[in-house]
């Protein structure tokens, strides 16, 4: 039996998404073509855009379909930078952001001369509103996660958005780890902001909510000053050229609607399951601790520090026992390096190599938790012996 505890990396395709994708593949036609087949594809594409927009609390015209969260983040940061005021050079960048954000910002520094204004996290992985606000004056743009993808801590995005609006700075919100798990309402977070400042862009990804890999979206406010990074057509308000993935859009929308319908009940179930998992680990294995906020976190996220046990060794031993987890972001999990998020919490490099992220999802059960708690003590003991 395989126990899958890596839902934050990707979660199983929902049946609603599979059905929507298969139905859409029967349509023959480019959504930009004017003949009947093209217009049928266009109709399904725009209906899918409207359905997804409803789940995100935005207008359908504000939804720009992309290939996933990484592209959405790159489009947001590089697109906002390209339309910045000439006198502004700084990018406000919290230390615990996803590598897609960190590397896009680093590219702006190395190729465009951007100055990165780093914002340190607190000990629970939260972006302190005061520190964030103090970094905003004169900045070209800012970015922040709603939910930290590694330790699961939920940030006060409403306060960060308001601070950005007050400072006259456009803000991008990374909602990839948040969407489907905690409330994400673009219009509510934007508040009364009408100019192209405050929250103007928000990234999401399909495969995190049971859609297929290869489809995502960037919500772009009507008033946002943002330049396209892919050229070749006028699709999607001219913000992202190319033939649009109608089947992917239909599957993403179906997954988002189904996920949102059960989000509240799943949050209750997964929170209870996570608490049992964490209590079982901390109660049976010495020198362990839960990282991130103990309560104000994504319902299914449990990021645990196992002192003096290498995370990659634990992954190998658990995988042999049929249990799949992660040491952190899936984008970096293939590389044995310390977690930058854990180090941003104030831990040293050795500790940052000693963490595992267990993430629960729609298919997770009590039996999965039981299997983990049965296999983990021996794995930790063996990993600690090997690291001494």
R_g (Cα) of the chain, nearest Å: 21
DSSP H or E run through 92? strand 90-94
Give dist(CA 204, CA 196) in Å, integer: 20
Task: Examine the residue annotation and report whether 331 is marked as an active-site residue of this protein.
Answer: yes
* DSSP letter string, 175-214: -TTTTTTS---HHHHHTT--SS-EEEEEEEEGGGTT--TT
Question: Strand 198-205 to strand 170-174: parallel, antiparallel, or no bridges (unpaired)?
Answer: parallel
Give dist(CA 315, CA 21) in Å, integer: 33
Spell out the residues 6+ positions from residue 387 whose beta carbon is closer than 8 angstroms to its own.
308, 309, 310, 313
Q: Phi first, then psi: give them for residue 51, nearest 5 degrees.
A: -65, -45
Q: What token pair was written down for 257?
A: 């609607």
DSSP H or E run through 57? none
Give dist(CA 21, CA 163) in Å, integer: 40
Contact 335, 364 (CB under 8 A): no
Q: What angle do CA 382, 387, 388 make, to 5 degrees?
A: 105
Of 252, 247, 250, 251, nearest in space to 30 by CA: 247
Which of these is catalytic: 61, 134, 330, 331? 331
Contact 302, 368 (CB under 8 A): no
Q: What token pair was written down for 369?
A: 């938790």
Distance of CA 342 to the CA centre of its chain: 17
Give dist(CA 380, CA 173) in Å, integer: 36
Residues forming the active site: 331
């Amino acid at each position: 039996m395989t126990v899958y505890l890596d839902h934050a990396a990707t979660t199983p395709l929902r049946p609603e998404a599979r059905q929507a994708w298969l139905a859409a593949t029967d349509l023959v036609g480019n959504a930009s073509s004017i003949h009947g087949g093209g217009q049928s594809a266009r109709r399904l594409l725009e209906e899918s855009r409207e359905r997804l927009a409803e789940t995100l609390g935005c207008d359908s015209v504000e939804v720009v379909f992309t290939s996933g969260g990484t592209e959405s983040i790159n489009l947001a940061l590089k697109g906002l930078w390209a339309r910045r005021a000439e006198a502004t050079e700084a990018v406000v960048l919290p230390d615990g952001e996803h590598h897609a954000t960190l590397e896009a910002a680093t590219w702006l520094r190395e190729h465009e001369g951007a100055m990165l204004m780093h914002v340190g996290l607190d000990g629970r992985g939260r972006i302190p509103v005061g520190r964030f606000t103090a970094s905003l004056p004169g900045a070209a743009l800012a970015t922040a996660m709603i939910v930290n993808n590694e330790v699961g801590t939920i940030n006060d995005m409403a306060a960060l958005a308001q601070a950005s609006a007050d400072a006259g700075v456009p803000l991008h919100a990374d909602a990839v780890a948040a969407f489907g798990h905690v409330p994400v309402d673009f219009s509510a977070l934007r508040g009364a902001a009408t100019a192209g400042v405050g929250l103007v862009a928000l990234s999401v990804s399909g495969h995190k909510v049971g859609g297929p890999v290869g489809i995502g979206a960037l919500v772009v406010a009507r008033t946002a000053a943002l330049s396209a990074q892919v050229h070749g057509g006028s699709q999607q308000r001219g913000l992202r050229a190319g033939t649009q993935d109608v089947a992917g859009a239909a599957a993403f929308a179906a997954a988002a609607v189904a996920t949102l319908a059960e989000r509240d009940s799943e949050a209750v179930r997964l929170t209870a399951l996570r608490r049992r998992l964490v209590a079982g680990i901390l109660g049976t294995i010495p020198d362990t601790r839960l990282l991130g906020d103990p309560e104000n976190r994504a319902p299914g996220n449990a990021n645990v520090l196992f002192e003096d046990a290498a995370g990659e060794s634990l992954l190998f031993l658990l995988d042999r026992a049929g249990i799949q987890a992660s040491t952190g972001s899936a984008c970096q999990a293939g590389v044995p390096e310390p977690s930058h998020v854990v180090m941003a919490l104030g831990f040293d490099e050795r500790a940052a190599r000693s963490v595992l992220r267990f993430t629960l999802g729609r298919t997770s059960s009590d039996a999965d938790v039981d299997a983990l708690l049965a296999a983990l003590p021996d794995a930790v003991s063996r990993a600690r012996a090997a690291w001494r």
